Amino acid sequence: MTPKKSSPEYKSGFVAITGAPNAGKSTLLNRMLGEKISITSRKPQTTRNRILGVVHRPASQIIFIDTPGVHKASQPLNIRIVNVALSTLTEVDLVLILIDIANPEPEAEQYMISELKKNNPSVVLALNKIDAVKKPEVIKIINKWKDAYPFKAIVPISAKHGDGVETLLVEMEKELSEGPQYYPDDTMTDVPAKFIAAEMIREKVFRLTGQEIPYSVAVSIESFSNKPKKGIIHIQATIHVERDSQKGIIIGKKGSKLKQIGQNARMEIERMLGNKVCLKLFVHVQKNWSKDTKALTRFGY
């Protein structure tokens, strides 16, 4: 793709969104875009891949990369997930760190700062969930973080409600250099609809099942008809789990849980595609796939 020519005042650049697991990175990206492209849940490590989102502004184009949560990992799947996040930090023009000040993760946050200091990139810090903390406490937290790293700016925000997000965008825009418009005005992401559909299904598994299930789940799209048949897009997907007991939980009594997952996912996929969707889900047991390097590669991790 050839970037468009820009005016001398036009700015552009790539920004990695990073932070501890469950800090609200995907919620913030969706808020800045005004559309949902990155899945969210209350459970850590919901995001497993890099998700690109393009924010178009009058004098700039900010290309965000939503990365998985950074933490000290030991399991093969989590090691790959964290490596994805850390590798992104050296490939961008600016790093945006998101900290959940209502539920801090000191160990993960300090690990993240130590990793940043290895290359010293330009960093903007966003302090998320100010709606859940009293204002005097927010000021104390800002002062605490001032000495942790030479941040270009520290901005208190609420990704959920949008407070401070415009200020954050302005601060990031200041740090970008003059550059071209890399993506057309109507481009929000370069992630295929097929990938987002799989992620939406996985999100519903996260939201509708207990603690033991989400981290043992992967979703693959077996078929995806780009051209509607009789006005309907047909999608077949497989939910992969590691044990027979997990398969039973996802299917539920008389298939009730799988039906609920399918209905909720279908409605979101329809909103994304702007088209009626027929979604068929299957559940497959693949023993210990999250520790199998071949399976991890096949599922895109």
**Model confidence at 135: pLDDT above 50:** yes
Radius of gyration of the chain (CA): 20
Q: Which of 48-52, 117-121, 188-192, 282-286 has the lowest mean pLDDT?
A: 48-52
**Model confidence at 78: pLDDT above 60:** no
**Model confidence at 62: pLDDT above 80:** yes
Q: Which of 158-172, 202-216, 244-258 has the lowest mean pLDDT?
A: 202-216
Contact 73, 20 (CB under 8 A): no
**Model confidence at 137: pLDDT above 60:** yes
Q: What is the pLDDT of residue 74?
A: 47
Q: What is the pLDDT of residue 35?
A: 82
Type of residue numbered 149: Y
**Model confidence at 130: pLDDT above 60:** yes
Type of residue numbered 200: M
Nearest-CA neighbor of 71 among 25, 133, 2? 25
User: Helix, strand or coil for residue 262?
Assistant: helix
Where residue 226 falls among pLDDT bands split at 50, 70, 90? confident
Instruction: Tell me the range of 17-31, 43-57, 144-158 where mean pLDDT is highest.
Output: 144-158
Of how many residues is the chain composed? 301
**Model confidence at 222: pLDDT above 70:** yes
Q: Which of 45-59, 64-78, 84-98, 130-144 has the lowest mean pLDDT?
A: 64-78
CA distance 37 to 243: 30
User: Helix, strand or coil for residue 178?
Assistant: strand
CB atoms within 10 A of CB 115: 15
Burial of 128 (0-12, 13-18, 19+ CB in 10 A): buried
Instruction: Tell me the range of 101-115, 262-276, 285-299 where mean pLDDT is highest.
Output: 262-276
Type of residue numbered 35: E
Where residue 101 falls among pLDDT bands split at 50, 70, 90? very high
Q: Which residues contact 179 (CB under 8 A, 6 or more apart)?
A: 3, 6, 10, 11, 12, 13
Type of residue numbered 137: E
Q: What is the pLDDT of residue 43?
A: 44
**Model confidence at 33: pLDDT above 70:** yes
Contact 137, 52 (CB under 8 A): no
Q: What is the pLDDT of residue 67?
A: 74
Q: What is the pLDDT of residue 111?
A: 83
User: Could you tell me the domains of the chain?
Assistant: 11-178 (3.40.50.300), 193-298 (3.30.300.20)
Contact 24, 17 (CB under 8 A): no
- In this prediction the pTM is 0.70
Q: What is the pLDDT of residue 4?
A: 52
Token pair, residue 237, equals 């997907």
pLDDT averaged over the chain? 83
Type of residue numbered 225: S
**Distances from the Cα of 85 to the Cαs of 17, 228, 283, 293, 298, in angstroms?**
9, 36, 29, 18, 19
Type of residue numbered 159: A
Where residue 227 falls among pLDDT bands split at 50, 70, 90? confident
Q: Which residues contact 282 (CB under 8 A, 6 or more apart)?
A: 222, 236, 237, 238, 239
Among all chains, which residue has been given the structure tokens 């609200």?
Answer: 24
Q: What is the pLDDT of residue 44?
A: 45
